[in-house]
Chain A
Amino acid sequence: MTLDDLRGTLIACAGEEDSVELSGDILDMTFEDLGYDSLALMESAAKIERDHGISLPEEAVAEADTPRALLALVNGLTATAA
């Protein structure tokens, strides 16, 4: 999963905050600073699970507080699954 894929998923699942430039360098910004709350992340995580056929551990999703961390989690699991 690329950062662009994740952007697309976040926007589809939770829209985007007007004051945040999502297209910028957001890899290490926290989801909170990007305007995404726990619901937004749960909705996005559920879509990622369905799209990639993986199961994301709930605690790990809760702990992944930046796009970089979430991508690492997802890509780690998809590599294992493949």
Chain B
Amino acid sequence: MTRRVVITGIGVRAPGSSGTKEFWDVLTTGRTATRRITFFDASPFRSRIAGEIDFDAAAEGFTPRETRRMDRATQFAVACTRDALADSGLDFGTLDPHRVGVALGSAVAAATSLENEYLVMSDAGRDWLVDPAHLSPYMFDYLSPGVMPAEIAREVGAEGPVTLVSDGCTSGLDAVGYGVQLIREGSADTVLAGAADTPVSPIVVACFDAIKATTPRNDEPETASRPFDGTRNGFVLAEGAAMFVLEELEAARARGAHIYAEVGGYATRSNAYHMTGLKKDGREMAEAIRAALDEARLDRTTIDYVNAHGSGTKQNDRHETAAFKRSLGEHARAVPVSSIKSMVGHSLGAIGSIEIAASVLAIRHNVVPPTANLRVPDPECDLDYVPLTAREQRVDTVLTVGSGFGGFQSAMVLHDPEVTSL
């Protein structure tokens, strides 16, 4: 008998909110949290908009020592971990530490700290031979970010398998998928899984400027992220994090836990096509969706809501629409599909986990979050993308997907554990 895995605790930090409840309020009211970049002078850049978080480490309960030690992304992940623990009602002190694992996702890890240290060591970029006299003791951890999941492990006292999953923009989905596999195979009973990324930093903005993947719609920051809209012209970079308590179903039931959802199926495939480009046909994402449904033993028609990757680039939204049609058949036209990136932007490796949070909350509240800023139809994107306004409807089963540089295509099926299999 396969061990089943459920989500029993959630912690989220996303633009426009400072916790799970506020996050859901943002999504269901269709508010957008993208704005002009305030973290640095963005005037030399092509895209000057981002989903920034007003994160106050002291107010979040971090000691000055923790704040010095932890990179911003790590702080996000730890804050979410604390929320998820409290939310789960699980007393980690009673667990066998050997049976607790951590699977953290991040695409660019300590990028922001790397850049800060670089400026100090290189005399603001002047010196190629950086000056070791100005070396931060934490510089090694910014180079090699194993410290990120290590901090989570310390936070919860995990002594089981601990890893950082860094699959670019699907990291947030893949880290949770990894954690689910650890529990299923019996390597752990409880896993803290999720993702964090804080890429709103000049070097990352410059990277996406160079390939023109981010939107230059600088005069309309609140409506700049336009997934599936005919006028879309790129994504809005963002930061964020989400963490989950994953438990084996019977253990969760035995302690009377509140169960948000079961992770029924997960799969990832690669397009083996291009580091940044996508073919129009959506073949590999469709295959990931098919495999995830297969693992969940659910028919495609049981999907009540599709939480899309919906980045708002020309090619992604077209690719993804094709993947939904290819994998869901006629049901693609019947099922609501939406992208929360329209509201909270694209936080690279973190967004996959933030989208899992949105999916799980959709099941909890029986509400489908909308795609904000979707006003102009695109003939190549012709599904029901839930424009502008959230929709109340029964949501038992959600498909959430991700797509990223390197060709990664991932899919996860989340459902109410009472939903019976085929």
A and B: partners? yes
B364 at the interface (CB under 8 A from A): no
Which of A4-12, A22-30, A34-42, A64-72 lines the interface with chain B?
A34-42
Which residues in A have their C-beta under 8 angstroms from that of B212? 42, 58
Inter-subunit contact A37/B277 (CB<8 Å): yes
CA distance A37 to B277 in the complex (A): 9
Which residues in B have their C-beta under 8 angstroms from that of A38? 277
A20 at the interface (CB under 8 A from B): no
CA distance A54 to B274 in the complex (A): 29
Q: How large is the interface on A (under 10, 10 to 19, 20 to 34, 35 or more residues)?
A: under 10
CA distance A70 to B274 in the complex (A): 23
Q: How many residues of B contact A (CB 8 A)?
A: 7
A46 at the interface (CB under 8 A from B): yes
Name the contact of A46 in the complex, choosing from B210, B274, B275, B276 (C-beta under 8 A). B210
Which residues in A have their C-beta under 8 angstroms from that of B274? 37, 39
B422 at the interface (CB under 8 A from A): no
Contact indicator per residue, chain B 141-173, by CB within 8 Å of chain A (1) or not (0): 000000000000000000000000000000000
Which residues in A have their C-beta under 8 angstroms from that of B275? 39
Instruction: Name A45-63 residues within 8 Å CB distance of B.
Output: 46, 58
CA distance A73 to B277 in the complex (A): 25
Chain B residue, CB-CB nearest to A46:
B210
B211 at the interface (CB under 8 A from A): yes
Inter-subunit contact B211/A42 (CB<8 Å): yes
Which residues in B have their C-beta under 8 angstroms from that of A37? 274, 277
Q: Which 9 pairs across A and B sit closest by C-beta, in order of nearness?
A: A42-B211, A39-B276, A58-B212, A39-B211, A37-B277, A46-B210, A42-B212, A37-B274, A38-B277
Taking beta carbons and an 8 Å cutoff, which residues of B are in contact with A?
Answer: 210-212, 274-277
Taking beta carbons and an 8 Å cutoff, which residues of A are in contact with B?
Answer: 37-39, 42-43, 46, 58
CB<8 Å pairs between A and B, sample of 14: A37-B274, A37-B277, A38-B277, A39-B211, A39-B274, A39-B275, A39-B276, A39-B277, A42-B210, A42-B211, A42-B212, A43-B210, A46-B210, A58-B212
Contacts A37-B277, A42-B212, A43-B210 aside, 11 further interface pairs with beta carbons under 8 A come to: A37-B274, A38-B277, A39-B211, A39-B274, A39-B275, A39-B276, A39-B277, A42-B210, A42-B211, A46-B210, A58-B212
